[in-house]
């Protein structure tokens, strides 16, 4: 039942991603084009307006970037076509770019993730996505590490950082990110362990039994 709910949520996200892309994306592109055309005309007839038209362009460009970012979160584009490994790599890379060297994000994958059912791949991707967002928001870490291991009997995912965390946060107390991770893990009959690293930092351990893979496939 809960797995069904999560699948419904993914369907809804896909729908939203499509709508955002098709509706908002087109409108913003149109605004941008009109602003460029105003700037062009104003250049000849009313130079004072050029700066204002350019301003509209910059705002719509910024909104387009936000929409693109949101689309990436709603529906990781490569997950369907290129698989989990490529998708995680580009997620980690995008955080490295965004952090500008403040936090160094690393990814290691052992085992074959091409055989994972899509639903499970989406779950793992969503968990890593939330962990990395949390690291950038809360940890002030210099290093963050994502390790995914696919073995015969289980999948383990460990996300660690060397940031400021000195005690395990109470799940659900401030936000819903960790809560969502826990729900996803429980629904796949897995185990979630939160611990504190030495001397400080946060460690999230997820273990999903292969049974979960079979269930997710059903
Ligand atoms: N890597 C981390 N380092 C330090 N503190 C963390 C880390 N991850 C989570 N936390 C703490 O745990 C709390 C709960 O995290 P959670 O993801 O559930 O909520 P949030 O990130 O605050 O909000 P939301 O995820 O709903 O946007 C955070 O508010 C933060 O205090
Ligand atoms: Mg969070």
Beta bridge partners of 184: none
Q: Does domain 79-217 have CATH number 3.30.565.10?
A: yes
Query: Would you say residue 189 has pLDDT above 60?
Result: yes
Contact indicator for 68, 96 with CB cutoff of 8 Å: no
C-alpha of residue 189 to centroid of ligand 1, in Å = 23
The ligand 1 atom nearest the CA atom of 169: 12
Query: Would you say residue 11 has pLDDT above 80?
Result: no
**pLDDT single digits (tens) 84-121:** 998 899 889 989 988 888 999 999 999 998 888 877 88
Question: In this predicted structure, what is the pLDDT of residue 218?
Answer: 52
Query: Would you say residue 209 has pLDDT above 70?
Result: yes
Query: Would you say residue 195 has pLDDT above 80?
Result: yes
| Ligand 1 in reach of 174 Cβ (< 6 A) | yes
Instruction: Please choose from 73, 142, 166, 175 the residue to mutate so as to test ligand 1's pocket, defined by most ligand atoms within 8 A of CB.
Output: 175
Query: To the nearest whole number, what is the mean pLDDT of the chain?
Result: 86
H or E element in which residue 35 lies: helix 25-45
Identify each DSSP E strand in the chain by its residue range.
Answer: 104-110, 143-150, 154-161, 191-196, 202-209
What are the residue boundaries of the structural domains of the chain, listed by start?
2-74, 79-217
Q: What's the average model confidence in pLDDT over 135-144?
A: 95
Question: In this predicted structure, what is the pLDDT of residue 3?
Answer: 64
């Amino acid at each position: 039942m809960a797995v069904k709910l999560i699948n419904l949520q993914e369907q809804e996200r896909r729908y939203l991603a499509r709508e955002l892309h098709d509706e908002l994306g087109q409108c913003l592109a149109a605004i941008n084009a009109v602003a460029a055309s105003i700037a062009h005309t104003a250049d000849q007839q009313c130079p004072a307006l050029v700066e204002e038209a350019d301003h509209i362009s910059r705002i719509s460009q910024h909104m387009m970037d936000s929409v693109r970012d949101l689309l990436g979160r709603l529906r990781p584009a490569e997950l369907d076509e290129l698989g989990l490994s490529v998708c995680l790599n580009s997620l980690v890379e995008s955080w490295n770019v965004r952090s500008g060297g403040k936090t160094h994000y690393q990814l290691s994958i052992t085992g074959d993730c091409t055989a994972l059912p899509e639903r499970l791949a989406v779950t793992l991707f969503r968990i890593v996505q939330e962990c990395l967002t949390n690291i950038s928001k809360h940890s002030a870490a210099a290093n963050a590490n994502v390790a995914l291991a696919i073995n015969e009997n289980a999948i383990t995912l460990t996300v660690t950082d060397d940031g400021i965390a000195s005690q395990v946060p109470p799940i659900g107390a401030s936000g819903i990110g960790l809560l969502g991770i826990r729900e996803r893990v429980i629904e796949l009959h897995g185990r979630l362990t939160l611990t504190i690293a030495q001397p400080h930092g946060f460690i999230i351990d997820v273990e999903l039994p292969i049974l979960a893979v079979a269930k997710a496939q059903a």
